[in-house]
Amino acid sequence: KELHFVVLLGSLRAGSLNGIVARTLPQIAPPGVSISQLGSIADFPHYSQDIQDNGIPESVSLMADKIREADGLIIVTPEYNYSIPGVLKNAIDWLSRLTPQPLAGKPVAIQTVSPGAIGGARAQYHLRQSLVFLDAFVLNKPEAMIGQASEKFDTESLELIDQKTKDFLVRQINALADLTRKIAS
Ligand code: FNR
Q: What is the pLDDT of residue 51?
A: 98
Ligand 1 lined by 18 (C-beta under 6 Å): yes
- Is 46 touching ligand 1 by the criterion CB < 6 Å? no
Which protein residue has the closest C-alpha to ligand 1 atom 10? 80
Model confidence pLDDT, tens digit, residues 36-58:
999 999 999 999 999 999 999 99
Which pLDDT value is given to residue 80? Answer: 98
Q: Which amino acid is at 154?
A: D
In this structure, which residue's CA is closest to atom 24 in ligand 1?
Answer: 114
Q: pTM here?
A: 0.98
Q: What is the ipTM of this complex?
A: 0.99
Report which residue type is found at 90.
N
Which residue, by CA, sits nearest to atom 15 of ligand 1? 80
> Does residue 180's CB lie within 6 angstroms of at least one atom of ligand 1?
no
| 174-129-175 Cα angle (round to 5) | 5
Write down the pLDDT at residue 136.
98
Residue 74 alpha carbon to ligand 1 centre in Å: 19
Contact 134, 101 (CB under 8 A): yes
- Assign residue 32 a region (left: φ > 0; alpha: ψ between -120 and 50; beta: otherwise): left
